[in-house]
């Protein structure tokens, strides 16, 4: 087996197995080859790719770094960059891509399409939030290859993050025109159009939103599973007692925002079902149960769909209902409510810590863990939010569920800060506590939707070029009349936002004459 011809044959077989998705066979062949020839650079590199497909980024990096030690190669550097990006090591991923590009320039006989390396350099910079550098890299890629669909799409995302949403739409359209299989680009067209208020035009593109649901490693979402009944697209039902099942998707904030369309769906169907996540169940029972008896809440999707005529993903309801900015108010704005007994309980508790006349202000400063990059952009560090909590004329009520210690306020709290969140079990409890407050100040997270939907005044602290649902640079929201939006004027700059907010608090709650 140690003859070179045998080695070459095994390596060829391993390559064929890998590219036909026979990863287990490729692993076995490569392990046998490397036992006979431990310094076979191509086999070491391919072994790293097998580990990457098996989602072993640490193991993948080990194999590819060994291959680079044996024989530096731009292709190997590119693979290492991909491994590091998927592991969340964006600085390292950019460094590997740059080393590959430099090697390709100094030793051009090592053939590789350098646009691949440059594109991955852009991805690493983009995910590390170095948007200006990423923009230049993507423009360089497009100068060399104007029909690079992925570079157009990513440049659109970068331009949106830098505040130029109209230019972003142009590049997303170009990406999709070049490659209609690039459904992430089509999804991004929808998101950007929504951000500028072009709702009716946006909704059909927004149907591909699953393609843009990324994780922290730059990997994109998978197509949702098909259901055995057709999707309702707004056509009149075939019979008066037709039944629609609304399918929960994405996060709690989305459900709290889009459940406003349940009553409009009931105008079209005899009954409507919804698979309601447990943390929302009591709240939705309180809010919809008595008012809408034809709305049924379920714990899960139906095992038997024979009772249902059609379905709608929750975020597809506005498209089916023909919702635009001009008729958004056809759906109720105040559509959630707190249980009266629970709300009375929290009013009593609040009276013990905040005498009459002292503003009771709820505060949320951080989002969840669904997407680390977005969470980092929308959240405010406890050290920064401490400046707001130092404003003395309010009793601050924490509404923050800290999913890690980095988001938690130091203990003990200042005397004008109260934290009862250990007693809060679900959104029904949160709604009851919020009902007793004078104001809620929150970053872009589910509590902002909850508080606004029960009719509470909300001051939203919005990141620069934030989520589509807040439009661009608006101080108000067509979704929630009681909301006031404080937008970042520069990426990552919460200092100015907090200064403006404190000025607003001074005006809203002036100090009483002694």
pLDDT of residue 514: 36
Q: Which of 173, 194, 212 is the last residue of a domain?
A: 212
Same domain, 303 and 365: no
Tell me the pLDDT tens digit for each residue of 164-196. 999 999 999 999 999 999 999 999 999 999 999
CA geometry: angle at 180 spanning 175 and 185, to 5°?
Answer: 45
pLDDT of residue 109: 60
Domain presence at residue 480: yes
* Cross-strand bridge partners of residue 397: 362, 418
Which residue, chain included where needed, has tokens 């057709």?
A: 230
Asked if pLDDT for residue 386 goes beyond 60, the answer is yes
Same domain, 258 and 119: no
Helices (H) and strands (E) in the chain, counts: 22, 10
Q: Which residue has the higher pLDDT, 20 or 261?
A: 261
Q: Pick from 330, 227, 332: which is nearest to 288 by CA?
A: 332
pLDDT of residue 2: 53
User: What is the mean predicted confidence (pLDDT) over 220-239?
Assistant: 85
pLDDT of residue 222: 61
User: What is the mean predicted confidence (pLDDT) over 300-308?
Assistant: 95
pLDDT of residue 372: 67
Domain presence at residue 226: no
Same domain, 195 and 263: no
DSSP 364: E
Q: Which residue has the higher pLDDT, 108 or 185?
A: 185
Same domain, 497 and 426: yes
pLDDT of residue 368: 73
Reported as a pLDDT band with limits 50, 70 and 90, residue 7 is confident
Domain presence at residue 44: yes
Tell me the pLDDT tens digit for each residue of 322-358. 999 999 988 888 999 999 999 999 999 999 999 888 9
Tell me the pLDDT tens digit for each residue of 427-444. 999 999 999 999 999 999
What tokens were used for 336?
């959630």
Asked if pLDDT for residue 307 goes beyond 90, the answer is yes
Q: Is 55 left (phi over 0), alpha (psi -120 to 50) or beta?
A: left
Asked if pLDDT for residue 302 goes beyond 90, the answer is yes
CATH of the domain at 361: 3.40.50.2000
Asked if pLDDT for residue 17 goes beyond 60, the answer is yes
Asked if pLDDT for residue 108 goes beyond 80, the answer is no
pLDDT of residue 380: 94
Same domain, 143 and 10: yes
Within a 13 Å sphere around the CA of 452, how many CA atoms are in the beta-carbon half? 30
Domain presence at residue 452: yes
d(CA 292, CA 289): 6
pLDDT of residue 56: 77
CATH of the domain at 13: 1.25.40.10
Contact 501, 388 (CB under 8 A): yes
Q: Which of 289, 322, 355 is the last residue of a domain?
A: 322
- For residue 63, give its domain range: 4-212
Q: Pick from 96, 73, 72: which is nearest to 84 by CA?
A: 96
pLDDT of residue 326: 93
Same domain, 458 and 486: yes
Q: Which of 189, 212, 235 is the last residue of a domain?
A: 212
pLDDT of residue 198: 97
User: What is the mean predicted confidence (pLDDT) over 479-485?
Assistant: 96
User: What is the mean predicted confidence (pLDDT) over 287-309?
Assistant: 95
Asked if pLDDT for residue 251 goes beyond 80, the answer is yes
Tell me the pLDDT tens digit for each residue of 209-225. 999 775 444 455 566 77
Domain presence at residue 219: no
Q: Pick from 70, 96, 74: which is nearest to 83 by CA?
A: 96
Same domain, 310 and 346: no
Same domain, 250 and 349: no
Within a 13 Å sphere around the CA of 134, how many CA atoms are in the beta-carbon half? 26
Domain presence at residue 457: yes
Which residue, chain included where needed, has tokens 């951000």?
A: 195
Tell me the pLDDT tens digit for each residue of 77-86. 999 999 999 9
3-state secondary structure 486-510: EECCCCCCCHHHHHHHHHHHHHHCC
| pTM, rounded to two decimals | 0.90
Same domain, 294 and 437: no
Contacts of 175 (CB under 8 A, 6+ apart): 149, 150, 152, 153, 156, 182, 185, 188
User: What is the mean predicted confidence (pLDDT) over 300-315?
Assistant: 96
pLDDT of residue 74: 94
Range with lowest mean pLDDT among 4-13, 15-24, 103-112, 320-329: 103-112
d(CA 203, CA 170): 17
pLDDT of residue 224: 72
Same domain, 287 and 179: no
Domain presence at residue 369: yes
Asked if pLDDT for residue 309 goes beyond 80, the answer is yes
Same domain, 373 and 298: no
Percent of the chain predicted with pLDDT > 90: 81
Contact 178, 147 (CB under 8 A): yes
Domain presence at residue 235: no
Same domain, 384 and 454: yes
Count how many domains the chain has: 3
pLDDT of residue 212: 79
User: What is the mean predicted confidence (pLDDT) over 250-273?
Assistant: 96
User: What is the mean predicted confidence (pLDDT) over 389-413?
Assistant: 86
């Amino acid at each position: 087996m140690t003859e070179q011809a045998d080695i070459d044959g095994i390596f060829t077989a391993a390559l064929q197995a890998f590219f036909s998705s026979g990863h287990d066979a490729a692993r076995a062949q490569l392990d046998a080859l490397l036992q006979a020839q431990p310094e076979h650079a191509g086999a070491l590199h391919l072994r790293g790719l097998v580990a990457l497909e098996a989602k072993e980024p640490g193991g993948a990096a080990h194999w590819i770094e060994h291959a680079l030690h044996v024989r530096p190669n731009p292709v190997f550097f590119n693979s290492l960059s991909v491994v590091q990006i998927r592991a969340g090591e964006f600085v390292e991923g950019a460094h590997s891509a740059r080393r590959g590009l430099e090697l390709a320039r100094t030793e051009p006989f090592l053939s590789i399409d350098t646009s691949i390396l440059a594109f991955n350099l852009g991805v690493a910079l983009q995910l590390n939030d170095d948007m200006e550098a990423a923009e230049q890299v993507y423009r360089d890629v497009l100068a060399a290859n104007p029909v690079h669909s992925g570079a157009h799409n990513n440049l659109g995302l970068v331009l949106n993050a830098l505040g130029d949403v109209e230019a972003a739409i142009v590049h997303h359209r170009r990406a999709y025109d070049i490659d209609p299989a690039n459904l992430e680009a089509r999804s991004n067209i929808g998101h950007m159009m929504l951000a500028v208020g072009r709702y009716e035009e946006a909704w059909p593109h927004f149907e591909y939103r699953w393609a843009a649901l990324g994780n922290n490693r730059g990997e994109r979402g998978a197509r949702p599973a098909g259901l055995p009944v057709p999707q309702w697209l707004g056509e009149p039902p075939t019979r008066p007692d037709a039944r629609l099942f609304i399918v929960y998707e994405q996060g709690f904030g989305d459900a709290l925002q889009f459940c406003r369309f349940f009553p409009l769906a009931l105008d079209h169907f005899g009954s409507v079902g919804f698979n309601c996540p447990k943390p929302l169940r009591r709240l939705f029972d309180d809010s919809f149960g008595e008012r809408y008896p034809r709305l049924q809440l379920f714990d899960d999707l139906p095992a038997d769909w024979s009772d249902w005529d059609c379905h709608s993903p929750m975020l597809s309801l506005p498209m089916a209902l023909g919702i635009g900015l001009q008729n958004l108010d056809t759906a109720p704005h105040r559509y959630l409510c707190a249980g009266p007994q629970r709300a009375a309980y929290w009013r009593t508790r609040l009276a013990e810590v905040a005498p009459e006349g002292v503003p009771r202000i709820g505060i949320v400063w951080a989002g969840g863990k669904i997407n680390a990059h977005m969470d980092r952009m929308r959240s405010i560090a406890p050290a920064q939010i401490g400046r707001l909590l130092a404003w003395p004329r309010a009793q601050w009520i924490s509404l923050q569920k800290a999913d890690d210690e980095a988001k938690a306020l130091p203990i003990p709290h200042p005397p004008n800060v109260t934290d009862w969140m250990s007693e809060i079990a679900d959104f029904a409890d949160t709604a009851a506590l919020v009902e007793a407050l004078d104001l809620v100040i929150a970053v872009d997270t589910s509590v902002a939707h909850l508080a606004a939907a029960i009719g509470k005044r909300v001051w939203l602290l919005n990141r620069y070029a934030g989520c589509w649902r807040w439009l661009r640079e608006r101080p108000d929201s067509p979704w929630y009349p009681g909301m006031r939006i404080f937008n970042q004027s520069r990426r990552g700059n919460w200092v100015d936002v907090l200064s403006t907010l404190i000025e607003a608090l001074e005006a809203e709650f002036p100090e009483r004459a002694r």
